């Protein structure tokens, strides 16, 4: 892990170093997976809790 | 996430105050959740869920447990945000992501708040409002009552603050049954009474750390001798509390035997601490290690008995 006290590329310009880019990519993937998991859980919980009621309703 | 590195006119600031999150990976954010504490929360909450009467769909149960774990982790992140300054001067906590300069404190706060909201909402969806409310209260108690108020103001900090760590089995119980009866609070009482001897044993051999950080832990404020006496007193009460699940139907005679034996060892370890010299930290280290095993073993026996159908 790089020492954050070391000057990063963002001090001189806005370009990221390869390591910073890699970390950003990892963070983005983690956020995407986290959101996908959250959506899947809410969907599954909704189906489980409401599914029966929906199936048994009268039209 | 690509924050500008702030260095102008900030030469005296601590590393974490000048941090950039550019180098932070997912594992650094995961570390904010205090995974080891989270694992204990998951375990005790699971025991609460299994011990509670009734049942719930396994997937809903898994989501509820996941929510409790995320809620606990979120409170850990908020604690690290608030305590970044003292974490930085304590050896035990200096490697945490914020003092190490890997994650900016405000980001940890946002991360913790976001996850708190998510966890409470998900628990409400998966189980009921009582469980969700208890989880929200647990997070509030740990962050606001313990971290922000008690931790830096009184040597009773971990005594009262221990309530936050003791609530997960009650939350788990409420998630399954929608209630929080006496039996759930028996589990709460065990963890609540376990917290002071556990943390004071740790504080006895890390008192220098706490003193440097200005945290009024018992050994720093009242001294070693008083702390040792209080550890022993709490150990007696804890050993008694450890037996009570048997009397409220949460344990069989097997649990009774195990809890009596473990309680006796706990008291013996605490006695060793009481009688040790000020510079001998070995008994305190042994008690600290045993206290973790003690809590795990009590809950594990309760869980095993439940899963084996011994509780009817």
**pLDDT tens digits, B178-193:** 999 999 999 999 999 9
Q: What is the pLDDT of residue A57?
A: 67
C-alpha closest to that of B293 among B227, B201, B230: B201
d(CA B22, CA B155): 38
Q: What is the pLDDT of residue A3?
A: 53
d(CA B198, CA B201): 5
Query: Do residues B108 and B80 touch, judged by C-beta distance below 8 A?
Result: yes
Q: What is the pLDDT of residue B230?
A: 97
The mean pLDDT value of chain B amounts to 92
Exposure string over B111-148, b if 16+ CB within 10 A, otherwise e: bbbebbebbbebbbbbbbebbbebbbbbbebbbebbbe
Q: What is the pLDDT of residue A16?
A: 83
What single string gives the DSSP state of each residue in A27-47? HHHHHHHHHHHHHHHHHHHHH
Q: What is the pLDDT of residue B122?
A: 97
CA distances from B233 to B84, B139, B188, B295 (A): 33, 29, 19, 17
Q: What is the pLDDT of residue A29?
A: 96
C-alpha closest to that of A8 among B215, B122, B216, B24: B24
Read off the pLDDT band of B214 (50, 70, 90): very high
pLDDT digits over A5-58, tens only? Answer: 555 554 556 788 888 889 899 999 999 999 999 999 999 999 998 876 766 666
Query: Do residues B220 and B211 touch, judged by C-beta distance below 8 A?
Result: yes
What single string gives the DSSP state of each residue in B237-271? HHHHHHHHHHHTTS--HHHHHHHHHHHHHHHHHHH
Q: What is the pLDDT of residue B4?
A: 37
CA distances from B168 to B43, B96, B192, B218, B277 (A): 9, 24, 11, 25, 36
Chain A residues within an 8 Å CB radius of B64: none
Task: For residue A22, give how far its alpha carbon lies from the nearest alpha carbon of chain B (Å).
Answer: 9
Q: Which residues of B touch A (CB under 8 A)?
A: 1-5, 7, 15, 18-20, 22-26, 29, 57, 59-60, 63, 66, 100-102, 118, 122, 125-126
pTM: 0.88
Q: What is the pLDDT of residue B144?
A: 97
In sequence order, the 6+-apart residues with CB closer than 8 A to the CB of B32 are B73, B76, B77, B80, B96, B97, B98, B103, B108, B111, B112
Chain A residues within an 8 Å CB radius of B6: none
The residue among B293 and B12 whose pLDDT is bigger is B293
Whether the pLDDT of residue B284 is over 80: the answer is: yes
d(CA A44, CA A41): 5
Query: Do residues B295 and B191 touch, judged by C-beta distance below 8 A?
Result: yes
Query: Do residues B299 and B44 touch, judged by C-beta distance below 8 A?
Result: yes
Maximal C-alpha separation, chain A: 67
For residue A1, give the nearest of B23, B63, B66 by CB distance.
B23
pLDDT digits over B6-65, tens only? Answer: 333 344 566 666 666 677 889 999 999 999 999 999 999 999 999 999 889 999 999 999
Number of H helices, E strands in chain A: 2, 0
Q: What is the pLDDT of residue A14?
A: 74
The residue among B9 and B164 whose pLDDT is bigger is B164
d(CA B189, CA B124): 25
Interchain contact, B59 vs A24, CB within 8 Å: no
Q: What is the pLDDT of residue B65?
A: 98
Testing the interface with B: which of A41, A46, A51 to mutate, by most B Cβ within 10 A?
A: A41
Beta strands in chain B (DSSP E): none
Task: For residue B1, give how far its alpha carbon lies from the nearest alpha carbon of chain A (Å).
Answer: 8
Chain B residues within an 8 Å CB radius of A15: none
How distant is the alpha carbon of residue B45 from its chain centre? 12
Interchain contact, B25 vs A26, CB within 8 Å: yes
d(CA B293, CA B299): 10
CA distances from A17 to B2, B167, B186 (A): 11, 45, 54
Maximal C-alpha separation, chain B: 68
Query: Do residues B287 and B201 touch, judged by C-beta distance below 8 A?
Result: yes
Q: How many of the other CB atoms lie within 10 Å of CB of B194?
A: 24
């Amino acid at each position: 892990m790089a020492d954050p006290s070391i000057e990063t590329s963002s001090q001189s310009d806005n370009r990221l170093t390869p390591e910073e880019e890699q970390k950003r990519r990892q963070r983005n993937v983690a956020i995407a997976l986290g959101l996908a998991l959250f959506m899947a859980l809410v969907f599954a919980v909704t189906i489980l809790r409401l599914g029966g009621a929906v199936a048994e309703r009268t039209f | 996430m690509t924050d500008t590195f702030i260095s102008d006119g900030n030469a005296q600031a601590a590393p974490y105050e000048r941090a950039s999150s550019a180098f932070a990976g997912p594992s650094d954010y995961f570390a904010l959740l205090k995974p080891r504490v989270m694992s204990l929360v998951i375990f005790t909450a699971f025991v609460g869920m299994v011990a509670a009467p009734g049942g719930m769909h396994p997937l809903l149960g898994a989501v509820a447990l996941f929510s409790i774990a995320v809620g606990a982790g979120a409170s850990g992140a908020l604690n690290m945000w608030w305590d970044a300054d003292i974490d930085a001067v304590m050896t035990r906590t200096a490697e945490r992501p914020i003092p190490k300069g890997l994650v900016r404190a405000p980001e940890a706060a946002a991360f913790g708040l976001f996850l708190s909201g998510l966890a409470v909402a998900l628990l409400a969806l998966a189980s009921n409002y009582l469980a969700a409310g208890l989880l929200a209260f647990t997070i509030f108690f740990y962050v606001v009552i313990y971290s922000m108020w008690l931790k830096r103001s009184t040597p009773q900090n971990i005594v009262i603050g221990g309530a936050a760590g003791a609530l997960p089995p009650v939350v788990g119980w409420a998630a399954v049954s929608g209630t929080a009866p006496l039996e759930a609070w028996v589990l709460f009482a065990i963890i609540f009474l376990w917290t002071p001897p556990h943390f004071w044993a740790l504080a006895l051999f890390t008192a220098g750390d706490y003193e440097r950080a200005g945290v009024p832990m018992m050994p720093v404020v009242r001294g070693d001798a008083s702390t040792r006496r209080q550890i022993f007193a709490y150990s007696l009460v804890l050993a008694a509390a450890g037996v009570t699940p048997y009397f409220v139907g949460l344990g069989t005679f097997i649990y009774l035997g195990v809890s009596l034996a473990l309680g006796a060892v706990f008291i013996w370890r605490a006695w060793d601490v009481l009688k040790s010299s000020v510079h001998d930290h070995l008994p305190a280290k042994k008690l600290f290690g045993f206290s973790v095993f003690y809590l795990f073993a009590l809950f594990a026996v309760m869980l095993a008995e439940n899963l084996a159908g011994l509780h009817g």
